[in-house]
Structure 1
Amino acid sequence: MAAEKTGDVRTAYLDGRSIAALARDHGVSRDAIRTAVADLMPDYNAIAQEDAPAPELPVTLDMPGKVADFLRASDLEPAEQAALDQGVTVRGGQGYTLRITAVPGVHRQLLARCQPLDGGQGVPAERNARRE
């Protein structure tokens, strides 16, 4: 909505005009009118919206099986343990991968608990066949 129309819309809304009528009169959507008069609506709480942190949405990450085994053997918080328990095992090659869906905070906690795995546990890669 154009900035010069916003003042007229706000005044009309305060005078009791409905959002649908304002949208028809100005040729815009109802959502555009709601956006223009959002702070005038009864359920608007500007302070709560500005101070509230944005919610963290769940993220899906793949974790190598060795790391998942290491974490399962350690003492975890309930949220971390639940994320590991709800993970989906994905087979791939010789090992496995655990696909975990959790909020980024839980992933960060799991990452902080991880220690580098030493490379002595694996078998070195060798060629299957040698050509002469």
Structure 2
Amino acid sequence: MHISEMFRLVRGTGHVLEVVDVLHRDRLALRIHDGAFSAMDLTTRHPRTGKLLPTVKFMVQTLAAAGELQRDLQRELTYDGRAAEAKGNKGGRHPAVPADKTDAVRTACLEGRSVAALARDHGVSRGAIRPAVADLMPDHTAIEEDTPAPEVPATLDMPGKIADFLRTTELEPAERATLDQGVTVRRGQGYTLRVTAVPAVHRRLLAHCQPLDDGQGVPAVPAQRKARREYENRVGTLTSPNHDRSHP
């Protein structure tokens, strides 16, 4: 005998025990494919007394009671739904503004009609009206797709020789403030200046160091030239999408 689920056969706690007794009496094998009873042998009896094992009986009664409660709750929800439908209340998601009504809703909104009034006019919720007129609301801020994202400050270690040179150079206030706020990190006999700024400021500071590389009015010093190229490599990483906004 095969059934898909136990509660297609029984209707309550007492009924399930009666079914188990019938199975044992008539020596029938019951195969339940789904549900909590699918892993149980409902015909297991004590070898001496012939009665249903206490543990099996307990599990059968517990699961049957849980199933009966589930059916009762489903029945109550069904009755409540029918009663609400009889009163004109429909469940599910609130209806949205139909596509052919969107222009009329937007026009009325521009004429000063409130969201609540529009919802009443079209028989929908205020939440359904708001998406259709969101860009017309006073607190809406338009975002242009072509507007570039603001630059995020990045931290780089500037070689000490570059920092010393820049301090003697005429800089913009923002560039000077960036140097003044840098953190000195000692490295042996030299140091680096840990500078945090947006990439544009880093690039402008690098541009001020150009004389160190081509000797424009500045004596060419190999150590300074090497430091400038090292700083150039670090600034160059700011254009990489994988840059983590910090440099060791």
TM-score (norm 1): 0.58
Deviation at 1:49, TM superposition (A): 3.2
Larger Cα-atom Rg: 2
How far, CA to CA, are the matches of 1:83 and 1:18 in structure 2?
A: 50
Tell me: CA distance 1:38–1:82, structure 2 relative to 1, closer, same or farther (3 Å): farther
How far, CA to CA, are the matches of 2:144 and 2:188 in structure 1?
A: 48
Q: Which runs of 4+ in 1 moved over 6 A?
A: none
How far, CA to CA, are the matches of 1:38 and 1:97 in structure 2?
A: 56
1:79 aligns with 2:174: yes
Tell me: CA distance 1:53–1:68, structure 2 relative to 1, closer, same or farther (3 Å): same
Which letter does structure 1 place at the counterpart of 2:134?
L
Structure 2 gap segments, 5+ residues each? 1-94, 99-104, 106-117, 120-124, 214-219, 225-248
1:40 aligns with 2:134: yes
Tell me: CA distance 1:59–1:68, structure 2 relative to 1, closer, same or farther (3 Å): same
Deviation at 1:118, TM superposition (A): 1.9
TM-score (norm 2): 0.33
Once superposed, what is the RMSD of the aligned Cα atoms? 3.0
1:119 aligns with 2:222: yes
Of the two structures, which has the highest relative contact order with CA contacts closer than 8 Å and spacing of 6 or more?
Answer: 1
Structure 1 gap segments, 5+ residues each? 1-7, 23-33, 122-132
Per-residue CA distance 1:27-74 (angstroms, 9 max, x = gap) = xxxxxxx9xx4972523343x533543211111111000000000011
Per-residue CA distance 1:79-130 (angstroms, 9 max, x = gap) = 1000000000011222100001111111110011112362268xxxxxxxxx
Q: For residues 51-130 of structure 1, what are the structure 2 equivalents within 5 Å? A: 51-114=146-209, 115-116=212-213, 118-119=221-222
Percent of residue pairs identical = 58
